[in-house]
Amino acid sequence: MEKAFTVAIDGPAASGKGTIARAVAAHFGFAYLDTGLLYRATGAKVAEGMTPVAASESLSPQDLQRDDLRSGAAGTAASKVAAIPEVRAALVAFQQGFARRPGGAVLDGRDIGTVICPAAEVKLYVTASDETRAQRRFAELSPSDPDLTLAQVLQDLRDRDARDSARATAPLKPAGDALVLDTSHLSIDEAVAQAVAAVEVGMS
């Protein structure tokens, strides 16, 4: 496929959207962008002393390869800088250009289907129960943080959801025409199969 074809995948943290997005991109041979890394990398540069706007305007591909972007602190920083309109404006054009590259693209984030790519050919909103998401994130983070508790992870997720859903600019919500995929009781293979089927329908 040489023409542009965009798959927008949104959803809250630890819903499985990243795993599904990477699998869909690999299945169809599409380019993949974890847009959350843009905000995590911006937040990391802010933590090192840059202003949020300068950090977002100076991002390079190397910044997205940092080893600390998956930490809980980076996630919290990302959510905070994402609420700044000037930061969002600096990153939107990057995402939109990536989305319309020839050969197809999969982008996952929180506002891809609603704001970044409202004309995307396929839109998915991946979600799961708070408890399921907390268990997943706890399993991911606890090996490197033995003092972490499941209750802390659950509260952090709920706090982040509240910030992301309540922000005035591009709040977290499904696009009106998005397929909602609840992964609470699905295996990875089952969730990916449903997503692949949705993309195939969009391509037909």
Per-residue pLDDT tens over the stretch 163-198: 988 888 888 999 999 999 999 999 999 999 999 999
**Is 16 part of any known ligand binding site?**
yes
Q: Is 181 inside a domain boundary?
A: yes
Q: What is the pLDDT of residue 81?
A: 92
- DSSP lists the bridge partners of residue 73 as none
**Is 15 part of any known ligand binding site?**
yes
Q: Is 203 inside a domain boundary?
A: no
Dist CA 184 CA 190 (whole Å): 11
Q: Is 169 inside a domain boundary?
A: yes
Q: What is the pLDDT of residue 170?
A: 82
Task: Give percent of the chain with pLDDT exceeding 70.
Answer: 100
At 71, is the pLDDT very low, low, confident or very high (cuts 50, 70, 90)?
confident
Residues 6+ apart with CB under 8 A from 177: 113, 123
At 118, is the pLDDT very low, low, confident or very high (cuts 50, 70, 90)?
very high
Is pLDDT at 61 greater than 80 in this prediction? Answer: no
From residue 83, give the alpha-carbon distance in Å to each of 69, 78, 110, 111, 144: 18, 9, 12, 12, 28
pLDDT (mean) for 115-132: 97
pLDDT (mean) for 70-88: 86
**Is 43 part of any known ligand binding site?**
no
Q: Is 71 inside a domain boundary?
A: yes
Structure tokens given for 15? 């819903």
**Is 14 part of any known ligand binding site?**
yes
Task: State whether residue 122 is helix, strand or coil.
Answer: strand
Q: CATH number of the domain that 90 lies in?
A: 3.40.50.300
pTM of the model: 0.84
Q: What is the pLDDT of residue 1?
A: 56
**Is 13 part of any known ligand binding site?**
yes
pLDDT (mean) for 35-62: 90
Dist CA 21 CA 120 (whole Å): 14
Per-residue pLDDT tens over the stretch 19-30: 999 999 999 999
Q: Is 31 inside a domain boundary?
A: yes
Q: Is 100 inside a domain boundary?
A: yes
Q: Is 1 inside a domain boundary?
A: no
Residue 55: domain span: 6-198
Decide if 120 contacts 96 (C-beta within 8 A). no
Between these two residues, 12 and 70, which has the higher pLDDT value?
A: 12
- pLDDT, mean over the chain: 93
What does DSSP say about strands 122-127 and 179-182: parallel, antiparallel, or unpaired? Answer: parallel
Q: Is 15 inside a domain boundary?
A: yes
**Is 97 part of any known ligand binding site?**
no
Is pLDDT at 79 greater than 70 in this prediction? Answer: yes
Report the domain count for the chain: 1
